[in-house]
A and B are shown apart, each in its own frame.
Chain A
Amino acid sequence: MSNVNLDSAIQHGLTKDEYEKILELIGRKPNITELGIFSAMWNEHCSYKSSRAWLGVLPTKNNRVIQGPGENAGVIDIDDGDVAIFKIESHNHPSYIEPYQGAATGVGGILRDIFTMGARPIANLNAIRFGSPDHPKTKYLLNGVVAGIAGYGNCIGVPTVGGEVEFDSCYDGNILVNAMSIGLAKKDKVFYSIASGLGNPVIYVGSKTGRDGIHGASMASQEFDSNAESKKPTVQVGDPFAEKLLLEACLELMKTGTIVSIQDMGAAGLTSSSVEMASKGNVGIELNLNKVPCRETSMTPYEMMLSESQERMLIVLKNGKEKEAEKIFKKWDLDFSIIGFLTDSKKLTLKFQNKTVCEIPISALADEAPKYRRDWIEINKPKHIDIEKKLIDLNLEQTIKNLLSHPNQADKSWIWQQYDHMVMCDTAQFPGSDAAVVRIHGNSKKAIAASIDCSPRYCRAHPYTGGMQAVCETYRNLCSVGAEPIAITNCLNFGNPEKPEIMGQFVGVIKGIAEACKKLNYPVISGNVSLYNETNGIGINPTPTIGGVGLVKDVSKIKNLKFKNEGNNIYIIGKTLGHLEQSILCYDLLHLKKGPPPSIDIDSELKNGLAVRSLIEKDLINSCHDISSGGLILSLLEMSISSKIGFTLNTNKKGTDRVKFLFGEDQSRYVIEVSNKNKDNLENHLKILDVFFENIGHTSKKISIDDDLKFDLKELSKINKEWFIKYNN
């Protein structure tokens, strides 16, 4: 066994102070296995050492939350004894190194988090972000990531129903792959990871352990340099077929009443799963590593404990139930091995070839993990910039075409048609809509709605506003289809937290998220933090991806964004002020990246959202779409292209005022389509609710704006659909 010293600790990603703390905690030098275990538990990915101090600021409760952060996933009550269980997780670093396997195992990992808790996954979503389309690696990464998500999700048979895609040169060296999954369970059949019952057997089930993914979590806790490629061996390899078997076997076992607790082996594999279960239950755990099913010969304790081989679970069974459980796993052709038992030592004890190869107090690995209050600087709202000059000579016709053909606004069906979004036969709203809607199986009325959003350019300009906006946008998307927003999960992607300005972004975003969640009664119930998204010292835009989940009480009433008939009235709900700084027009089309993002008034967000939901409930509108990136004009065009019905828009404005009206990204707004029959009724209703609205035109055969701008709908549709096909051919 090699000798452990400060150098080997540093090679494991630990600092000098951290190494000294280890010596103090165990009162001796660790051996190499123990050092590996400490490094796995104390890295940023597993310990949240930079972020933990701030995550406590987030609200985590409302009257529907059953389980908040701290478990494998969060749980909300969706009535009738049903619960929805969901979480989002990042797989950024591995996806950059090996896009197919990185993305695939990202999906596999989040699915395990869901079914570990007793839920059958019913919907997957994802948010993926790439560098500039011109960057030499972007096409390869895009194709690999999409194929990886498809390869895993399609095979296991869980529909991928929604997501978002963005290109920005800030992701050239660090792409983002955030995967979210939602599962369905019965309220009284939720499983947790708290180990209990001295002597209870600890069971290993699933695939065998190999040498893949060793130090994956540590790799994900570091910046990249030019040698990122050399880290390929730290990326795990996914087997969705094995996961499908594991899913069915686990759900079958969960019906038997034999399980005490269960935890998937995700980041830091056997180490973190055993330590977390023991830590939560305040017990000890002893494992005999000779019993671990191995894929390769002569694996060492170090390798077994740090492997991130996929599709594995650790289960604490009730004593005497081993045979019953084994039968189920044998039926599904999966490994089943009793590898240890719970003790009262409060230690992690590992035996190998009849020797003790590790003996560390659980508390040293979990509670005593470092927690840093990193230095941070407050990032204030930037001053307004003068953009009038740039707008005066704007060719509106060409700009509108450029907007539709820009990769960030182009039709994304090239991506989502590679995902099976219909399997399970409950998808009531397909990708490409404001929010995905998936029915609750066996219930003809109830459904879950979900949306995933973030505007990183807003977060970069002003983290606090950007954090609030990301939460509000998911809220708005859920309201657009008629769902009651309930709770969120967040995936916080940032650069190096050791830099005060990056930490300042993190703190600002967290405060913004907290404020929005609190006021909207829309708490955070699960999440994940991904730091060190930097290459050669350049960090990404702060990207707090928010996944919002809502409840639909009557799925037959939901609305989508397609115009329904010609001759209907078009209204905007919410006030249009014309805020252009940080808009798509400025940022992506005119390359003006300065100035503040649009501000958010949470009271309007709440009021307008409630109004839209009540209009849908009363069946007063035909279609609905939120106004977000790209402004009013993009919302209208998307409603047109998806329905092949045009619109006649009267702005009553000229010059730069008209540009602001069309492209402004003022928040808390919706476009709605209303028939003549419902017009008066709708206006009266909105007046009673004291909500600002304006009639801006009507649906028609063609597209025209005021008297001077006319567009061919077919041409616009073609422009919009072409980008991805051309780029990938």
Chain B
Amino acid sequence: MKANVIVFPGSNCDRDIKVALEKFQLKTKMIWHQDKEMPKSDLVVLPGGFSYGDYLRCGCMASKSNIMCEVIKHANKGGFIIGTCNGFQILTETGLLPGVLLRNKKLKFICKYVNLLVENNSTPFTSKYKKNQKIKIPIAHNEGNYFAGEKTLDELEQNDQIVLKYCDENSIVNNESNPNGSCLNIAGIVNKKKNIIGMMPHPERCVESILGGTDGSGIFQSLIN
């Protein structure tokens, strides 16, 4: 399987995700944001970071960059896309995923391991997890507060597009376990066709026990399945 990792100025998880992809034997190429063509791949990754400094709305500038035309073409052909953190923000800004990511409820950056409930394991990104499995993956963001109108939220639920929700130690999805104020405790969603996932947690940060956990591996294992 081949992967392209898009590098924007200000991306800072590009190397991290490359290391994780290669650990699971995905052949990975780094693609510069100004490129107008993209080599063929099965997967495109939009990494975490602060693309263009995120001085405008997070992900907004990146969504208008040259390479995104190629990424959108890849999406329309049914190619896989993962957007983590800033990558998720870029996906909502391009309209490839619905909703927006607002500033965290408490207006502070949060970096910590959180519990997540796997709501949908019938996607190409989560098939290695069990449905309703509780996993631990770190978040690190200032703007991860997922927001969408009621109609969109209803659609997400009806189409089974909500993949990951923040939950507590006992797998309960509640206010206390919602770190950033996201609607319905949403941590990750897919598009209708389920070939694109956007998630605030960083699976690349927990694929080795020395780093604090291995629950992120499931995302990569699902893909190569």
Contacts from A to B (Cβ < 8 Å)? 147, 150-151, 154-157, 239-242, 244-245, 332-333, 413, 417-428, 430, 439, 555-556
Contacts and interface: CB of A to CB of B under 8 A. Distances in A.
Contacts of B109: 147, 150-151, 154, 418-420
Given A241-B9, A428-B211, 13 more contacts: A147-B108, A154-B50, A154-B111, A155-B50, A241-B10, A244-B50, A419-B111, A422-B138, A422-B205, A422-B212, A423-B12, A439-B210, A555-B210
B210 A244 contact: no
Interface stretch (B13-21, B170-178, B184-192, B217-225): B13-21
Contacts of A422: 111, 138, 140, 202, 205, 211-212
Contacts of B48: 423
B38 interface: no
A483 B109 CA distance: 31
A332 B53 CA distance: 13
A418 B111 contact: yes
A420 B49 contact: no
Nearest to A146: B108
A263 B138 CA distance: 37
B140 A154 contact: yes
Contacts of B138: 422
Given A425-B204, A428-B211, A418 B108 contact: yes
The 10 closest A-B pairs by CB, nearest first: A157-B12, A241-B53, A425-B16, A155-B50, A420-B140, A420-B111, A418-B109, A150-B109, A417-B112, A422-B205
Interface in B12-63: 12-13, 15-16, 19-20, 48-50, 52-55
Contacts of A420: 109, 111, 140
A623 B141 CA distance: 32
B9 A244 contact: yes
Given A150-B109, A418-B111, A428-B210, A423 B140 contact: yes
Contacts of B53: 155, 239-242
B52 A241 contact: yes
Contacts of A239: 53
If over half of B's interface residues share one DSSP class (helix, strand or loop), that class is named, otherwise mixed; here it is mixed
A241 B12 CA distance: 11
A156 B212 contact: no
Contacts of A421: 111
Given A420-B140, A555-B210, A332 B9 contact: yes
B110 interface: yes
A454 B212 CA distance: 29
A244 B10 contact: yes
Contact of A424 (B15, B108, B112, B212): B15
A120 to B, nearest CB: 10
B12 A156 contact: yes
21 contacts: A151-B109, A155-B54, A156-B12, A157-B49, A240-B53, A333-B9, A417-B112, A418-B108, A418-B110, A422-B140, A422-B202, A423-B16, A423-B205, A424-B16, A425-B16, A425-B19, A426-B211, A427-B211, A428-B211, A430-B212, A439-B210
Contacts of B205: 422-423, 425
Contacts of A154: 50, 109, 111, 140, 142
B53 to A, nearest CB: 3
Nearest to B7: A248
Contacts of A242: 53
A241 B140 contact: no
A85 to B, nearest CB: 19
Given A240-B53, A423-B140, A556-B210, A245 B9 contact: yes
Contacts of A150: 109
B138 to A, nearest CB: 6
Nearest to B112: A417
Contacts of A332: 9
Contacts of B54: 155, 241
A428 B48 CA distance: 20
Contacts of A430: 212
A147 B107 CA distance: 10
B211 to A, nearest CB: 6
B60 to A, nearest CB: 14
Contacts of B19: 425
Nearest to B210: A428
Contacts of B112: 413, 417
A424 B138 CA distance: 13
Most buried by B among A156, A239, A423: A423
Nearest to B15: A424
Contacts of A424: 15-16
Given A420-B109, A428-B210, A428-B211, A155 B10 contact: yes
A244 B12 contact: yes
A302 to B, nearest CB: 30
A244 B111 CA distance: 20
Contacts of A423: 12-13, 16, 48, 140, 205
Nearest to A158: B12
Contacts of B202: 422
Nearest to A244: B10
A154 B49 CA distance: 8
B143 to A, nearest CB: 12
Nearest to A120: B15
A57 B19 CA distance: 45
Contact of B50 (A241, A427, A428): A241
Contacts of B110: 417-418
Contacts of A428: 210-211
A150 B109 CA distance: 8
Interface in B103-155: 108-112, 138, 140, 142
A417 B179 CA distance: 12
A555 B15 CA distance: 21
A157 B12 CA distance: 5
A499 to B, nearest CB: 40
Nearest to B32: A331
Interface string B52-77: 11110000000000000000000000
A154 B205 CA distance: 15
Contacts of B210: 428, 439, 555-556
Contacts of A240: 50, 53
A552 to B, nearest CB: 11
A556 B211 CA distance: 11
A425 B111 contact: no
